Chains A and B, each alone.
Chain A
């Protein structure tokens, strides 16, 4: 880890001190939703469908209702009384419990709240459901065939967001497709002028987030005048809005509180456990805890498997000209965040390169499998896998070095990604050159082979628009008489280090040490509104609101002091809760008490940030920042066993300015290891509509043993970010290049091209065999 900034050291920015949450988290004192315990709290469990697709003929829960310790049973009979018992992001298609049909194995059919989970499970076992099994849809390519079964015969309520130049969306454009995103720019005849046109197909596997803290909430609707909800959730205000809509409640009667979150990686956006728990709590008149098992987590939200078809036109010298693509995303049985993921996968498919012509269609295909939703990378992982593999393939076909091919086509610093977009805010070549140096890429021809074991190196550049679309951020900074700082904003601490980084920004502006800041607990009743902790938006979007709030508080403090001292505020500085005027120091506490008396005063600064809307921008507003993950790998491929050993993995992101270097490193390395696992082994395996490895023992996630012998990251600080002190967001970028860098390295080592993840020994051997049989 190196920092490359030339900026002067500051009190807080760039310091690798202890994270704000360190003490609580190493001493077991941090409170998570799983730790919330209310008096009289009941426990919920749910009955899940054993069928991938079936009509529900009848449900008989009478025996369950009569069982001891059971306080509430929720079936479609009860949800019929709820104003809008369905939820989803753009498309409201997921019922709280199944009504007419079940659409995947694991779909929720009924729920019970009882004295303990055991009693709830016994009650579930007594519920009789009469199913009429229906044919299942599990294959992306045949899902839209006229004879394919249909998941939704009737159109659920849905919306298409506003798009700008070249972009469009459509609901239900064809059978079993809930959403299509399309984007088009440049002359339609651009392919005609290309020397070569290459068409390749890539397949992307599906992972589960495997956050260690399960999906969990505690819902209290025991009082008539409002509901309280503690939930492990990335976007409490969005959940508040959904709860209000579903149950017909006023938003000011819903308090959503988010303690520490034990990991999410995208999965905890939007309603998950909350509607069931609230409905049960209302029926029982008691608080209800609903905590899923880790196995149920697999059935609740996943990444999108994908098929990506790319057609790329290129000149003889390697200049990219035109890119058409069709992407099919396996969205599972309910739309969840799929329309948004489709939008992003489609938008990002051209990668960080300059084209004259881009045309994309990306489809959210419904299948009888677990709902897919946001996952670290958010469509960018799928897009980068295909895009960065194909660039390499084209380079090799043209006899150009893959690194030179990238250099030739990369977007320049400041150049818009596409017309109407914001300019590239990282020097992409600088990052690529860093990887080349760190990896020793130019010397790869001299890598030794050991008999059947051959070595090679590969590069890739992961790319996504970061910071979310059209996302507002609000923050409030309060400073008490004694100089204690309260930071209020809606960014949840999910492990990414938001408390640390945002507190550092506020402290820096107020001339204080970060330890003086308390990051206030999230409660939608008091926290400033926020759309959600996602899209790597913490520092680049919320950071700007926090920065402004702190500067507003600072201005008030200086103006107050100027009034007292009888001078202009511009003559004053603030440090260590003293006013500095030349070499005089005036402690603030006595000055405040002198003016206000009593218990003193609180200065309150508010800060707001939002990227301005622009009809020229394809996605409503220009991208806030570009999140780039450069990666390089050295592999050893055993041509006898097919085993791929990643000997070196190097990743680097651009923090713009690293507010907290350890936090930045953690984001890049954690993301890279997720990418490594996806490249080599981690995946959900479906047999038809049945998930066969949906548990901790058979679903393999990476362990410390899986790290490459040489695993390094560098946090670049190129200084072009829009966030405070030049910061950019992090957290997803370094996942994006890993799989394609490894596939490219395998190609370099043994001349085979794997286009399907994961890169298993079986696939390596099959490709080697195919290569040897012309």
Chain B
């Protein structure tokens, strides 16, 4: 019965730049699919109700709640997770800014916050404070009180602009 309601199928998408072919089920969420992989546990699950954003991943560049996206929805898409941000072991400017500003405590929201910031800065390389606050308000951090996160995003924007120069 369970099998019939939840048929298996083959899914292909791009994960952090590399093609993925995987057999999964129609009821599997993207976050669960990612977390089943040894290298996919950086994506965290908290509310599983598309509220907290801990599970944020980028799908074709847009931040989405991985807990509330079915795996089949990403067929043919580019998916980026926290594991895909560093290049050759070097942290991305956003990751580095989060590290240097202590924009995390327990770290459970951090992957989601960083991906949210990556999406913002890809769209708007020089966001003002209100825009940063607005974007960061879509995710929950219970630890930091947000100040260091907001500062880290501003800092990351500066680092990215400097790197682009």
Residues of A within 8 A of B (CB): 16, 18-19, 21-32, 34-35, 118-119, 122, 209-214, 260-263, 265, 293-294, 494-497, 662-663, 665-666, 669-674, 695-697, 701-705, 707, 711
- A212–B106 contact, CB under 8 A? yes
- A212–B134 contact, CB under 8 A? no
- B142–A701 contact, CB under 8 A? yes
Say if the beta carbon of B58 comes within 8 Å of chain A: no
- B46–A212 contact, CB under 8 A? yes
- A696–B95 contact, CB under 8 A? no
Closest residue of B by beta carbon distance from A210: B142
* Known contacts A26-B91, A666-B144, A696 near B52 by CB under 8 Å: yes
B101: A residues at CB distance < 8 A: 662
Closest residue of A by beta carbon distance from B98: A26
What are some 22 contacts across the A-B interface (CB < 8 A)?
A16-B102, A18-B100, A19-B102, A22-B99, A27-B82, A28-B42, A28-B82, A29-B42, A34-B45, A212-B54, A212-B142, A213-B44, A261-B106, A263-B105, A294-B46, A294-B48, A494-B106, A662-B148, A669-B148, A673-B146, A696-B47, A704-B136
Complex Cα gap A85–B112 (Å): 39
Give B126-163 as 1s and 0s: 1 = Cβ < 8 Å from A's Cβ atoms: 00000001101110101111111110000000000000
* Known contacts A662-B102, A666-B102, A705-B133, A697 near B49 by CB under 8 Å: yes
- A213–B106 contact, CB under 8 A? yes
- B102–A22 contact, CB under 8 A? yes
- Chain B nearest CB: distance from A19 CB in Å? 6
- A697–B51 contact, CB under 8 A? yes
- Chain B nearest CB: distance from A211 CB in Å? 6
B136: A residues at CB distance < 8 A: 703-704
- A704–B102 contact, CB under 8 A? no
Chain B's interface size range is 35 or more
Say if the beta carbon of B19 comes within 8 Å of chain A: no
B144: A residues at CB distance < 8 A: 666, 669-670
Give B110-126 as 1s and 0s: 1 = Cβ < 8 Å from A's Cβ atoms: 11001000000000000
B145: A residues at CB distance < 8 A: 666, 669-674, 707, 711
- A696–B142 contact, CB under 8 A? no
- The CB with the most chain A CB atoms within 10 A, among B101, B140, B142, is that of B142
- B111–A28 contact, CB under 8 A? yes
Closest residue of A by beta carbon distance from B49: A696
- Chain A nearest CB: distance from B78 CB in Å? 18
B95: A residues at CB distance < 8 A: 26-27
- Chain A nearest CB: distance from B80 CB in Å? 12
A118: B residues at CB distance < 8 A: 2
- A711–B147 contact, CB under 8 A? yes
Say if the beta carbon of B13 comes within 8 Å of chain A: no
Complex Cα gap A465–B149 (Å): 30
Closest residue of A by beta carbon distance from B111: A28
Give B45-69 as 1s and 0s: 1 = Cβ < 8 Å from A's Cβ atoms: 1111101101000000000000000
- Other A-B pairs, 11, CB within 8 Å; known A495-B105, A666-B102, A696-B47: A18-B99, A18-B100, A213-B108, A262-B46, A263-B142, A696-B51, A696-B52, A704-B146, A705-B137, A707-B146, A707-B147
- Interface positions of B from 31 to 52, Cβ below 8 Å from A: 41-49, 51-52
- B143–A495 contact, CB under 8 A? yes
B45: A residues at CB distance < 8 A: 34
Complex Cα gap A53–B42 (Å): 41
A701: B residues at CB distance < 8 A: 140, 142
- Interface positions of B from 67 to 115, Cβ below 8 Å from A: 81-83, 85-86, 91, 95-96, 98-102, 104-111, 114
Main secondary structure of the interface of A (DSSP, over half): loop
Give the residue of B43, B46, B81, B110 whose beta carbon is less than 8 angstroms from that of A25: B110
- A263–B137 contact, CB under 8 A? no
- Chain A nearest CB: distance from B95 CB in Å? 4
Give the residue of B44, B82, B98, B149 whose beta carbon is less than 8 angstroms from that of A262: B44
Complex Cα gap A673–B51 (Å): 19
- The CB with the most chain A CB atoms within 10 A, among B48, B85, B100, B102, is that of B102
- Chain A nearest CB: distance from B138 CB in Å? 8
Give the residue of A23, A32, A293, A663 whose beta carbon is less than 8 angstroms from that of B48: A293
Nearest first, the 9 A-B pairs at minimum CB distance are A28-B42, A495-B106, A262-B108, A495-B105, A25-B107, A28-B82, A669-B145, A696-B47, A662-B102
- Chain A nearest CB: distance from B156 CB in Å? 11
- B52–A28 contact, CB under 8 A? no
- Chain A nearest CB: distance from B63 CB in Å? 15
- Chain B nearest CB: distance from A738 CB in Å? 11
B143: A residues at CB distance < 8 A: 263, 495, 666, 670
- Chain A nearest CB: distance from B9 CB in Å? 18
- Chain B nearest CB: distance from A265 CB in Å? 7
Closest residue of B by beta carbon distance from A19: B102
A210: B residues at CB distance < 8 A: 140, 142
- A704–B42 contact, CB under 8 A? no
* Known contacts A212-B140, A695-B49, A262 near B107 by CB under 8 Å: yes
* Known contacts A212-B46, A696-B51, A25 near B104 by CB under 8 Å: yes
- Chain B nearest CB: distance from A134 CB in Å? 32
Closest residue of B by beta carbon distance from A122: B2
- A212–B146 contact, CB under 8 A? no
- Chain B nearest CB: distance from A531 CB in Å? 21
A22: B residues at CB distance < 8 A: 98-100, 102, 104
- The CB with the most chain B CB atoms within 10 A, among A262, A674, A695, A696, is that of A262
B43: A residues at CB distance < 8 A: 28
Complex Cα gap A16–B42 (Å): 26
A214: B residues at CB distance < 8 A: 46
- Chain A nearest CB: distance from B106 CB in Å? 3
- A704–B100 contact, CB under 8 A? no
Complex Cα gap A670–B149 (Å): 12
- Chain B nearest CB: distance from A201 CB in Å? 31
Complex Cα gap A34–B43 (Å): 11
- Chain B nearest CB: distance from A244 CB in Å? 28
Complex Cα gap A19–B148 (Å): 13
